[in-house]
Chain A
Amino acid sequence: MADTVVEEETKTSSAVDVPWNVVVHNDPVNLTAYVTRVFQKVFGYSQTRAEKHMLEVHNLGRSIVWTGARERAEAYVEQLHGYLLLSTLEKSV
């Protein structure tokens, strides 16, 4: 019984600690200037860094725009959806 408890605690700790990616996916409608501005507004990125991610989205189809704790990643995805960017959460491998 004691072993089982220890195992559960280990699993919980692992799930919380794993970093999560916020990914933005390309779509043909959102203007590049709009996407850049959203990255600046949501993440506080500089113009240069925001444009780098925008170009990744545009040219590669997706960009990992932020990596970190799950709760904060969820909040960022919600904000990006509020700006109508296609955005998802995924475990960082």
Chain B
Amino acid sequence: MEISRPNETTVLVARIDPVIAELLRRIGSSADPGNNQRARDRLYSPPTNDPAEANFAEDWQEYVEPELARLFQSAIEVIEGDLKKMHADPVTGEATVSIPSDHLEPWIHGLNQARLVLTERHKLQDEDFDIEAMPASDPRAFLLLQLRIYAQLQWLFLRYLDGN
């Protein structure tokens, strides 16, 4: 995979391996907590830990959380819109996707959301992130690859936003 910025308005992600392309297509579904309570609790964490603020917490659930849900969904829609234009080279199978620079924020957000949801859905612990390598037969191997690819993209897009 090669990432470049051919001009001020575009980030080009090219030579995307078919496996990585599939991981990119999964950002939207990965970021969706569905009915998984752990994932939902992470996306919609309480605004206070003070039991005396129960009314505030209830109001938050009623009024703020729907707004947050719309915000989260809008980032995913931007990503999925860009990915619809991803095209693969018929010979090599490698894909290319062009991302407008003003879509970098939603991409960073969506990748972050996907990483958070995957971590909660699969109950990963801190130490799981420290594993350097694991056998491909381990069911967590593909998950960790997915998380690392998303983190790497997020980091690179953050650098682009910072002008580096």
Contacts and interface: CB of A to CB of B under 8 A. Distances in A.
Query: Chain A contact residues: over half helix, strand or loop, or mixed?
Result: mixed
Contacts of A31: 112, 151, 154-155, 158
Query: Chain B contact residues: over half helix, strand or loop, or mixed?
Result: helix
B50 A82 contact: no
Contacts of A34: 108, 112, 154, 158
A81 B116 contact: no
A87 interface: yes
Contacts of A54: none
A82 B74 CA distance: 12
Interface residues of B, number: 31
A82 B56 CA distance: 18
Nearest to B116: A29
A82 B154 contact: no
Contacts of A90: 48-50
B45 interface: yes
A83 interface: yes
B100 interface: no
Given A34-B108, A90-B48, A78 B155 contact: no
Contacts of A6: none
B109 interface: yes
A92 interface: no
Interface size class of A (residues with CB under 8 A): 20 to 34
B49 A88 contact: yes
Contact of A29 (B50, B109, B115): B115
A89 B162 contact: no
Nearest to A41: B105
A25 to B, nearest CB: 9
Given A34-B112, A34-B158, A81 B126 contact: no
B141 interface: no
A22 to B, nearest CB: 10
Given A29-B119, A88-B46, 11 more contacts: A28-B119, A29-B116, A30-B116, A31-B112, A74-B47, A78-B64, A81-B68, A83-B112, A84-B113, A84-B116, A88-B49
18 contacts: A30-B112, A30-B116, A31-B155, A31-B158, A34-B108, A37-B158, A37-B161, A78-B47, A78-B64, A82-B71, A83-B109, A83-B112, A84-B42, A84-B109, A84-B112, A88-B47, A89-B53, A90-B50
